[in-house]
Amino acid sequence: MPNECRLILKHADEPGYTPDIECYLRHGGYEVLKKALAIQPKTLPDGKTQSPQEQIRREVMASGLRGRGGAGFSCGLKWSFVDRKSGKPIYLICNADESEPGTFKDRQIIYKDPHQLIEGMIISCFANDVHLAYIYIRGEMPEGAKLLNKVLTEARTKHFLGKNILGSSYDLEIHVHRGAGAYICGEETGLIESLEGKRPYPRIKPPYFPAVLGLYMCPTIVNNVETLCAVKHIVAMGGAEYAKLGTPNNTGTRIVSISGHVKRPGYYEVEVGKVTIGELINDPAFGGGLRDGRKLKAVIPGGSSAKVFKAGEKFQIKGREVDMLDLPYDFDSLIAAGSMSGSSAIIVMDDSTDIVAALANIAEFYAHESCGQCTPCREGSLWMSKALHRLTHGEGRAQDADYLVKIADNIPGGRTICAFGEACSWPVQSFVAKFKDEFTAKGAADEERGVVNEAGPIASAH
């Protein structure tokens, strides 16, 4: 029987657990920071010395932790790319933008156990010789920003922040920065531009890899809220022990947001890969199954930009056929099935769903959020949204399905500066590929009624 494995959310929903520092300290808070600051340099068999910072970085590498923000990139590897020889300051930014539709996990930490994030950040900063760090929080979470500022003040008062932290001679300051409510501010280089006070135009990579040319053109680490909390647990239990949680190459725990047509929408922390998509949707410990009398139609497994799965779909994984519902919920299985776990947000759609309307909703979001720097993304996302608007307003055409795919196919693949190009194309490509008959039938019915605007696909919308 699968169940939650609460590591990061261990205390978050306990009765009487509050976000203030006294409560956090009563539950062992900041003990792992003390442990980290007390680590002594280690002499290796070859006579070389390993600094405490290096030792922590090695533990994080050994843990196999993969970033929880979306791409699932190895945290240890990302930290190893940081240019430590430039002589410039190294910055760390906590990405608390959490704007991928369907995702509501980071805010649980921020609202319910914010000191855990601060402790994870301080340890991560110490491990990477960072003395100034930022929490970039999405504009729509003003209460979260207020709370973070309050707990930072508490942490300063107790000497967990500031000069000479706990007498260790390590200095660190953390500031909260509020976004103004744009999805693209979650993309790490757009975020960095925004933090610098500019429009959040993502930067082109190469050369602007944050680890080398990040904030103020200095080496910068950008990590998700949940990733930074996981670091605290890795230092507490050791990298090898952490790696025993989850499955090989998909270690640790992950907080999954489940929304849509399930009886128990919510957030659930599970060992990565130990629970299937079907269990997350149907098990009483998680989503609790579909609403009475309904059948499953589709599942978006990793936030709105992930490619949709159709109920009953089968995949060849490691030489065997696997039903979509039997896919282990981990990074690698979902990629092998042609989608991704992304921000670990599962959106469930039952047979009452108008799939064309659902895609129109998603496409409108992406058209609105494109930053506009790249022509294929700026124009393509808008054209797709317009065509879908037309299809959902009785003005479609039978060939709109092909038209949508043609646009979507011409946005990603190295034609854009950032991965938003993929993010806006994948839903369109996958929804149309898997539910083409619904798009065609809608357009054909409109044509039959003779309501098509002769001006053509683009000019006829809105």
Ligand X SMILES: Cc1cc2nc3c(=O)[nH]c(=O)nc-3n(C[C@H](O)[C@H](O)[C@H](O)COP(=O)(O)O)c2cc1C
* Residue range at the interface with ligand SF4 (CB under 6 A); choices 56-64, 214-222, 373-381, 440-448: 373-381
- DSSP-assigned states of every residue in 178-234: E--S-GGGGSHHHHHHHHTTS---PPPTTT--HHHH-GGGS-EEEEEHHHHHHHHHH
Question: Which of residues 135 and 281 has its CB atom nearest to ligand X in the complex?
Answer: 135
Whose Cβ is closer to ligand SF4: residue 236's or residue 419's?
Answer: 419
Nearer to ligand SF4, 99 or 460 (CB): 99
Looking at residue 449, the DSSP 8-state letter turns out to be H
Least distance from ligand X to the Cβ atom of residue 208, Å:
12
Question: Looking at beta carbons only, is 35 or 415 nearer to ligand SF4?
Answer: 415
Residue 420 or 435: which CB sits closer to ligand SF4?
420
The answer to the question of residue 419 lying near ligand X (CB under 6 A) is yes
* Range in contact with ligand X (rule: CB under 6 A) among 216-224, 321-329, 330-338, 404-412: 216-224
CB of 420 to ligand X, least distance (A): 4
Instruction: Answer yes or no: are the C-beta atoms of 422 and 202 closer than 8 Å.
Output: no
Per DSSP, the three-state class of 87 is coil
Q: For the chain, what's the residue count?
A: 462
At 272, list the tokens: 């990565």
Does residue 110 contact residue 141 with C-beta atoms inside 8 Å? yes
Q: Which of residues 239-278 bind ligand X (CB under 6 A)?
A: none
Choose which of 378, 379, 436, 444 interacts with ligand SF4 (CB under 6 A): 378
Measured at the alpha carbon of residue 69, what is the angle toward residues 242 and 313, in degrees to the nearest 5?
A: 90
CB-based burial label for 448 (10 Å; 0-12, 13-18, 19+):
exposed
What is the closest distance, in whole angstroms, from the C-beta atom of residue 73 to ligand X in the complex?
5
Distance CA 5, CA 3 (A): 7
Query: What tokens appear for 132 in the block?
Result: 């100034």
> Which CB, 26 or 368, lies closer to ligand SF4?
368
418 touching ligand X, by CB under 6 A: yes
Residue 193 near which of ligand X, ligand SF4, none (CB within 5-8 Å, type-dependent): none
Q: Is 250 in the site for ligand SF4 (CB under 6 A)?
A: no
CA dist., res. 276 & res. 281, Å (int): 9
Interface positions, 404-423, toward ligand SF4 (CB under 6 A): 416-418, 420-421
Q: Report the nearest approach of ligand X to the CB of residue 72 (Å).
A: 7
- Amino acid identity at 357: A
371 binds, among ligand SF4, ligand X, none (CB under 5 to 8 A by kind): ligand SF4
Binding mask 75-114 for ligand X (x = CB under 6 A): ---x----------------x-xxxx--------------
283 is a contact residue toward ligand X (CB under 6 A): no
Buried b (16+ CB within 10 A) or exposed e, 232-250: bbbbbbebeebbebbbeeb
User: Which H or E element spans position 322?
Assistant: strand 320-323
Q: Residue 331 has which token pair? A: 């990074």
- Per-residue binder mask for ligand SF4 (CB under 6 A), 200-239, x = binder: --x-------------------------------------
The reply to whether 363 sits near ligand SF4 by the rule CB under 6 A is no
SS3 411: coil
